[in-house]
Amino acid sequence: MSYVTLHSSAQLNSVLLHHLRHRRLTNAVEAFRSNSHLTDTTSWNLMLSGYATHGRPQCAHKMFDEMPRRDIVSWNTILSAFRRTGRPLLAFQHFLRMQRAGVSPNGATLATMVAAIPSSNLIPQLHSMAIRAGLTPLNSILGTALVGGYASLEDPVSMRRAFGDIPVKNSVSWTSLISGYMELGMLEDAEHVFETMPVKSVVAWTTMINGCIDNGKLNEARRYFDRMPQRNVITWTSMIKGYQRNEQHAEALNLFIRMRRLSDVFPNQFTYSTVLAACAIGGFLHFGQSIHGQISRSLSQWDVVLSTSLVEMYGKCGDVSYAARSFDSCETRNVASWNSIIGCYAKNGLSTRALEEFQKMIEEGIRPDPITFVCVLTACVHGGLVDEGVHYFDSMERKFCIEPRLEHYGCMVDLLGRSGNIEQAENLIKRMPFEADIAVWGAFLTACGLHSNLEHGLSAVKAMQRLQKDHPIIYSMMLKVYGERGLWTSFDELKGKMQCKRSRKQRALSWIESASTQLQHAQKA
């Protein structure tokens, strides 16, 4: 399109606004450059906003620095861009630069800064600045931002005071206060505010549900869910995810079935990802296959999160071929996608395939993260690949600048111990930069039992007893020690103690039996 016919700044600004509203950033840039003689501060602000909202923060920053003149809109736009991209230091530096330039902040400026620097002691200073600038009573935007800011500072008194200073409270203000109380674990206060709220929006209901879930009150969350007069896909997904996060996978699938059968709300990619996660952890392969079919029929495009969820579901349910097929069909792959397929091969005993995928990942320029190395080291453990495991463990910090965590040390202790390198495993535990947990000592103790290394096993028993006295593996190791040393009186006493402990426990369904039963009821509902 040619822009030679443009004759005024107003005409240019109208064209820029039209392109940006329709997300045609390239056209807007061309119009701006072709008519640079017509640009005014509004034109620059439009382009600045365009770059910021289209995910081009560096271009926005460059354009801001090149602006011949700046007004309060210019400053607010660049501050908002830094806030959205999570760069609080740059936001604060430009806030100071703005004041040195003689531009006074308005309510929108201060609201942006409060949101840009959460958990900062500067928030009370920004509040004081608003008072000195005569911006009280607070408008809803600034007041709501301050409510959230004080919640991040864990200051409920100031949070409530900021809310009280808003003369006209809208739904967002009320919801922000509810969310603040939920973040602080003050459920009764959140419930009181919610019941006081004059008009309860779907967002407010969903905030109550998410807050209850985050505070471990899943039944309370369900009560609010059931009371809702109207639900949207976010509400349904939140409640399903609540069950999934709390390992009530059959309940999560039950609720999804109810959503599909009894409501006119259609699941989105986040809903499907959550349900697939429940299928993966619960081992519900057939249900996951059904969800895969629904996704294929209803969604024309999948994002990388949903594609990865499919790989994860098939991998954890043991269907390696479909996991590989789902991975190969991913149009876009990120580190989480690669972790899923590497983990799939590792957990299903295909160690060599897992390491091959890791090499392909590196060749494609994807940088591994700590989870990647957990998957790689797990593959080495399951394949008994000691030399390879040592190599990858050593390369974490040396080659990829990833500091090994407790779980990486745990994998190495397991790998070395299983292969009979008991002393190496023990030395590694001693060299760890943090204290070994029950899982690390458990892996070591299992290796000691596997190789009948009683001497090292007893030292591990003592370490485990400091962490958890009644862990089953401790009893197993002690029985082995007593038996091999012929201490039959001690052997019989310990065995009697174990049987006594077992007799107190009521017989229950296994988790798989229980979950399967629940799912059958869910599918019949």
Which one is predicted more confidently, 298 or 277? 277
pLDDT, tens digit, 9 for 90 and up, residues 371-407: 999 999 999 999 999 999 999 999 999 999 999 999 9
Check residue 354 and give its pLDDT.
96
Give yes or no for residue 424 having a pLDDT over 80.
yes
> Residue 134 — very low, low, confident or very high, per pLDDT cuts 50/70/90?
confident
Give yes or no for residue 361 having a pLDDT over 50.
yes
> Residue 444 — very low, low, confident or very high, per pLDDT cuts 50/70/90?
confident
Average pLDDT over residues 322-338: 91
Give yes or no for residue 269 having a pLDDT over 60.
yes
Identify the residue whose tokens are 């990486």.
408
Identify the residue whose tokens are 């008194």.
157
H, E, C per residue of 44-95: HHHHHHHHHHCCCHHHHHHHHHHCCCCCHHHHHHHHHHHHHCCCHHHHHHHH
pLDDT, tens digit, 9 for 90 and up, residues 142-153: 999 999 999 999
How far apart (Å, rounded) are the C-alpha atoms in residues 60 and 81? 8
Which one is predicted more confidently, 333 or 488? 333
Average pLDDT over residues 26-54: 92
Q: Which domains does the chain have, with CATH numbers?
A: 1-103 (1.25.40.10), 334-404 (no CATH)
> Residue 474 — very low, low, confident or very high, per pLDDT cuts 50/70/90?
low
Identify the residue whose tokens are 């402990």.
501
Give yes or no for residue 494 having a pLDDT over 80.
no
Structure-block tokens of residue 137: 């009573």
Tell me, rounded to whole angstroms, the distance of Cα 44 from its chain centroid.
37
Calculate what percentage of the chain has a pLDDT beyond 70: 85
Give yes or no for residue 481 having a pLDDT over 80.
no
Calculate what percentage of the chain has a pLDDT beyond 90: 68
Q: By the 8 A CB rule, do 15 and 46 touch?
A: no
Structure-block tokens of residue 455: 């001497």
Lowest mean pLDDT among 281-290, 389-398, 505-514: 505-514
> Residue 518 — very low, low, confident or very high, per pLDDT cuts 50/70/90?
very low
How far apart (Å, rounded) are the C-alpha atoms in residues 138 and 108? 11
pLDDT, tens digit, 9 for 90 and up, residues 74-87: 999 999 999 998 89
Give yes or no for residue 180 having a pLDDT over 60.
yes
Check residue 405 and give its pLDDT.
93
Q: By the 8 A CB rule, do 388 and 380 touch?
A: yes
444 contacts: CB under 8 Å, gap ≥ 6: 413, 417, 422, 425, 426, 429, 456, 460
How far apart (Å, rounded) are the C-alpha atoms in residues 161 and 371? 43
Sign, CA torsion 144/150/156/162: negative
Cis-peptide into 68, omega within 30 deg: no
* DSSP state, residue 198: S
Q: By the 8 A CB rule, do 381 and 369 touch?
A: no
* DSSP state, residue 36: G
Give yes or no for residue 363 having a pLDDT over 70.
yes
Check residue 443 and give its pLDDT.
82
- Angle between helix 171-183 and 140-152 (nearest 10): 0
> Residue 298 — very low, low, confident or very high, per pLDDT cuts 50/70/90?
confident
Q: What is the dihedral of CA 259, 263, 265, 268, to 10 degrees?
A: 20
How far apart (Å, rounded) are the C-alpha atoms in residues 512 and 525? 20
Check residue 497 and give its pLDDT.
60
* DSSP state, residue 246: T
Check residue 509 and give its pLDDT.
34
